Amino acid sequence: MGKKIAVQENLVDIKERLKTEGYEIIDPDNPEGAEAFVITTGIEEDDKGDLAGTRTYLPTGQEYFEFQGYAPVVDATGKSPEQVVDEIRRLAKD
């Protein structure tokens, strides 16, 4: 099974593209084990693709009092499915 990516419900084209690339799509409301989150915010990004110049991370576990890890957020606003996949691949290299 591929890496788990939590994707916002309405991003159907992006979900399909990620599936064809071998990623497992999971619900952002239950993100345990997520390698990244893909959402839309409408916030402009800088030339590196970072929201407001900084990388954003969300918790990947449901327990607030026990560390479960964090995963980076990919903002899909204005991006094609291919651009989102490329950004996820770049995150994997970091």
The pLDDT value given to residue 62: 53
Helix (H) or strand (E) holding 19, with range, is helix 12-20
**Domain total in the chain:** 1
Q: Residue 89 phi/psi, 5° resolution?
A: -65, -40
The pLDDT value given to residue 93: 77
Boundaries of domain holding 85: 4-93
The pLDDT value given to residue 47: 52
Residue 29 has a CB neighbour count (10 Å cut-off) of 8
Q: Up-side HSE of residue 60: CA atoms within 13 Å toward CB?
A: 20
- Specify the residue for token string 């918790």: 59
Q: Residue 27 phi/psi, 5° resolution?
A: -75, 130
Residue numbers of the chain with a pLDDT score lower than 70: 1-2, 43-68, 94
Structure tokens at 86: 């490329």
